[in-house]
Structure 1
Amino acid sequence: MKKLILAIACLINLTTGDYWTDREKLIQLDRASNIGSTLNLTEKETIADAFILNLKKQELQVGFNDPKKFPSALHFFKSRPIIETSPIFNIITRLPKGSSLHSHDLALTSQEYLYNQTFRENLYACLTDDTLLLHFFNPNNISTSCEWTLLKDLRENRLDFEEFLKSKMSIVRDDPVKAYPTINEVWKGFQQTFRTVVGLITYKPVFEGFFYQALRELRDDNVKYAEIRGYLPHVYDLDGRLYDEEEVVGIYENVTRRFKEDFTDFVGAKFIYAPNRRVTNNTMEAEVQIYKKIRSAYADFVVGFDLVGQEDKGWPLGDYIPQLLEIRSAGGHFYFHAGETNWFGFASDEDLFDAVLLNATRLGHAYALLKHPALAEAVKSRGIAVEVCPISNQVLKLVDDLRNHPAAVMIADGYPVVVAPDDPGFWGARGLSYDWYVAFMGMTSKGTGLRFLKQLALNSITYSSLNATEMAGALKQWKVDWDDFVDGLVRNEYFGYNEVLKVV
């Protein structure tokens, strides 16, 4: 009601009696709440902004004339080749994006990298219930739990095996609508992909290299900090040793430290413990103890707790309030997946209320948030950041055309939004740039330019779990990278031109 009264008062005050003057004032009033609208640009940033807007308007016009050519309106499996030819995408890949705040441990790296790990020695496969399982074994100690076959032999004996293997390691399909007619089918395929890759990734030599590569791909995409959600599967080696949850966190922390030594401009990574939401209360009690243990051992690295899995099919947060209150008392923060649903008034929708009441630091997806005006206003006023994962929401069938994503309204109304990749490796993405591209092109106004991109990067740092000292260092590093980026854009280094850009 207060917002409505304020809007009416503003409309009354802007009336001058001249229609076109009043129209322009109303447009400017409307744009004043956009993410980034309050930022003042330097002279060089103003030049870069004009250049980006010119490219953006050209690309939008192509899509306006022929919607089949507008990537944000197409399924990502179809739009990715178009995106990769875009000058705007080229710019976004070079732009310092700060942090990646929502992604999951087993889907962090590119498809190409993960597939290349299948050529390692001692990798076996078993096909069961239409799911391909992978696991490394010492040839003298192969499990009898399944009919395991050396992957090398399958490659030699099946002509179609490579395509079959690749199809099981991602959810990418030539015809995604036919392959996944409903949200339940795509989630089934999504979960089967996890089952396929888990035995490959959790082999200790692969696990360490996999996480190092994930950080490398982020840095290559000009992302300098990451917060990773993980459920801490048992890592194993050929000797049959299983590494427990605390040891697995230690591997993550050690790899992060090693990566920072190799790349001194990288700020770091932190871990959010995120077990499956479909568990009994007894299992949740065990998860509480695991969280307490890893939080105690790695207080600077383990920063919080979440529950993951298909929200419509999982148990709601309200089923675990005593356990969640106990976790909150143990320190750290909540980063709940909440409202990742199209349903209204169901338990998956009402998870949003529990997440806010439990004082969540950020909300994962929060796709249904705007259906609840009072709750949405509380999220905005309390600065609870919304982790928007646009490509994930599309491929997992919450929305077809990203212009219709509810976060477009959040962006226009200045909500504390960050854009994140979720599970990029499973749908053929890499890093953060693809999600930033579709958000910038499909979820912002035609006249929205560099201010939005700059604020999005700043949000990714200021809404992170970095402490004050770490955040100051991250912002300092980002400012250096940002100034270099703007200088490079103004000097026209990214497109092979010779002349310096000028204000247009």
Structure 2
Amino acid sequence: MSSCVVPSTIAEYEASRKELILADRAQRADYKKGQLSELEALADKVIRQVRVAEAASVWSQEYEGIPHPFPGMEFLTGRSIIVQTKLFEILGKMPKGGLLHAHLDATVNVSFLLKTALKYPAMHVRASTALNATNIGSVLPQLSALPLELRTQGQFALTDHNYPADTWVPMLKARESFAIKLGGPEGFDRWITAALTINPTEAYVTHNTVTKIWQKFQSTFIVSAPLVRYEPIQREYFREFILSSIADGISYVEPRINFLRARPYVAEDGERQLTHREVLRDFQKVVEDVKAELKAQRREDEFIGARIIYSTIRFITPEELEWYLQDCIALKKEFPQLIAGFDLVGDENVLKPLTYYLEPLLKFREMQKEAGVSEIPYIFHGGETLGDGTEADMNLYDTILLGTKRIGHGFSLVKHPKLIELCKERGIAIEMCPISNEILRLTSSMHMHPLPILLNQGVSVALCSDDPSVFGNMGLTFDFFQVLAASEITGLIQLGEMAKDSIKFSSMEPKEKDDALSAWQRRWEVFLEYAAVEGQKFLAQSKV
């Protein structure tokens, strides 16, 4: 269409307008897909109608404590409305493909973690002062699995006014003896849960800057680490992560395990530190057990497998990083099918940029050759920032120059047209975590998120949950819902294309990917029929 020719009739104008819209959307995965099947077209149409119907009904209602609700609003405030919608119910059945960006220490529902921890006598808790109504919101619990000789009988309650500061109390005893005026055992649960999660007041009022909310975010890992990294809890944790993922339609997981010598994994006796190989051995055993159980139930299509992205934190020195790189290589030798890649994690806005680690990072490929292991690609976090030209933003250049396979978050990528071009040319997918980005104050709602910009330019995207136990977005249904609810263009077909990309850009071998895509397609056809039928029922009932 010529840019200098102005249509002279309404018919010409409408034809030119249609042509321009199609040209503008031509790079999107759902448009490039081409002709839809009859079932795809029907399901997509019905789901769009459900979204419109609920925008006019569910989201137009008044809810106590939720001023001006709208689809795509801030997640922690709108979550209670989301779970009431038919759209959320239908998306819960969708086959999501793979979860490519999640930090393993924050992937299991906090209530499960707490319930599991209370089973083990080794688990103890202490506080820096006696808890009361005034300070309970600011005093963090300290948790630890103690060796037998250091375990106590729990002579004190954390809520006794004469509780000696920093005195260990068995976790179960601390719960049972929690003061009634502070809620009793349920009050103990709320105290622990508040330390492991981010609530709406923290996200949108008291911690309303990136720096403040990251401080709260990081504190949740400090509190949870002694639980998640205690061997018997860890085994149950791994299993629950995989089973809850499967229940949400996720058929493959590729979580990041954060290895840090200052935050060790502890054996069942509460004393010996687990080696990293023992951690991976336990993870692999859980994966194998779950796959065997599913095979016995003839449910193989529901779970393809799992791999690990070895990670450590951006505050270590370059010399320390070299140790972790060697450790990653040693684990790759022993677990060649389990190690998927390597990453550096942490708040990009305040911690070290990738350029700080260039010397060891550039040596990594040669180190692998010398060790005789297959490639361990970089799968870097990059651009998880509001910055434009800041160190955190500039990390995007380095992720690409260092040969990253995917980019974690890539929130500021939309500011870099050349980098977008390179991502498309080199097949670099973006692990986009929309709810995480919103809660960590990079955007105030889904309508302001840069995801549609990347989709409109044809960048491959895999939707991810990041740290669901902290944010309350367990599985992937919430993230898919937020993306769908906030766009008039994105529909069911685009969600399906992102699910497929999460398999295509995973670290599986080509044969595994083909099998995973075939299994996904079979489940997708079943889901499309379900979505069409359930959506039509809902629309018919709504009219009545």
2:291 corresponds, among 260, 282, 300, to 260
- Aligned mate of 1:158, from 172, 179, 196: 179
Q: Paired residue for 1:43, among 33, 38, 43?
A: 38
> Could you tell me how far 1:448 is from its partner in structure 2?
3.1
State how 1:160-175 maps to structure 2 within 5 Å.
Answer: 160=182, 161-174=188-201
1:249 alignment counterpart: 280
Q: CA deviation at 1:64?
A: 8.7
CA distance in 1, matches of 2:2, 2:377: 39
CA shift, 1:119, in A, is: 2.0
Q: CA deviation at 1:175?
A: 5.4
Kindly provide the amino acid, as one letter, of the partner of residue 193 in structure 1. T
Matched with 1:362 is 406
Give 3-state SS (helix, strand or coil) of 2:22's partner: helix
Q: Check the 8 A contact 1:16/1:22 in 2, yes or no.
A: no
**C-alpha contact 2:202 2:213 (8 A) present in aligned 1:** no
5+ residue gaps in structure 2? 62-66, 129-137, 153-164, 183-187, 369-374
Instruction: Report the equivalent of 1:91.
Output: 90
Offset at residue 460 of structure 1 (A): 0.8
Aligned 8 A contact 2:101 2:255 in 1:
yes
* Mapped partners of 1:475, 1:376: distance in 2: 26
Name 1:32's counterpart in structure 2: 26
Equivalent pairs, count: 487
Which letter maps to 2:330?
Answer: K
1:70 pairs with 2:70: yes
Q: What is aligned with 1:422?
A: 466
What is the aligned partner in structure 1 of residue 127 from structure 2? Answer: 127
Percent same amino acid among aligned pairs?
A: 28
- Post-superposition Cα deviations, 1:263-313, rounded to whole Å, max 9, x if no partner, equal 232100100001001111221121111111111111111010001111111
Which 10-residue stretch deviates more, 158-167 or 298-307? 158-167
Q: Counterparts of 1:498 and 1:393 in 2: how far apart (Å)?
A: 33
Alpha-carbon distance in structure 2 between the residues aligned to 1:175 and 1:243: 35
Structure 1 residues 322 and 415: alpha-carbon distance in aligned structure 2, compared to 1, 3 A threshold: same
Deviation at 1:12, TM superposition (A): 6.3
Alignment-mate amino acid for residue 347 of structure 1? E
Change (3 A) 1:409 1:105: same
Contact 2:463 2:499 in 1 (8 A): no
Structure 1: segments with no counterpart, 5+ residues: 1-8, 500-504
Aligned to 2:149, the other structure's residue is in SS state: coil
Distance 2:151 2:6 in 1: 77
Letter in 1 for 2:350: K
Instruction: Identify the residue that residue 117 of structure 1 maps to in structure 2.
Output: 116
Q: Report if the CA contact (8 A) 2:256-2:310 is conserved.
A: yes
Q: Structure 1 length normalisation: TM-score? A: 0.91
State the 1:21 CA deviation.
1.8
In structure 1, distance between residues paired with 2:332 and 2:522:
33
Partner secondary structure for residue 462 of structure 2:
strand
Q: Distance in 1 between matches of 2:522 and 2:502?
A: 16
Is 1:432 aligned with 2:488?
no
CA shift, 1:72, in A, is: 1.2
Contact 1:338–1:348 (Cα < 8 Å) also in 2: yes
Amino acid at match of 1:468: P
Residue 476 of structure 1: aligned partner:
518
**Is this contact kept in 2: 1:173–1:179, CA < 8 A?**
no
Deviations 1:16-65 (A, max 9, x none): 86222211221222222223112232112222111111112223455996
How far the C-alpha of 1:11 sits from its partner, in A, is: 4.5
AA partner of residue 45 (structure 2): A
Spell out the pairing of 1:18-417 with structure 2 (5 A cutoff). Answer: 18-39=12-33, 40-61=35-56, 68-73=68-73, 75-122=74-121, 123-128=123-128, 130-142=139-151, 147-155=167-175, 156-159=177-180, 160=182, 161-174=188-201, 176-232=203-259, 233-238=264-269, 240-264=271-295, 265=300, 266-329=303-366, 330=368, 331-417=375-461
**Cα–Cα, structure 1 residues 41 and 289, in superposed 2: closer, same or farther, change >3 Å?**
same
Alpha-carbon contact 1:35-1:455 (below 8 Å) kept: yes
Using the TM superposition, give the Cα deviation of residue 454 of structure 1 relative to its aligned residue in structure 2, in angstroms.
1.5
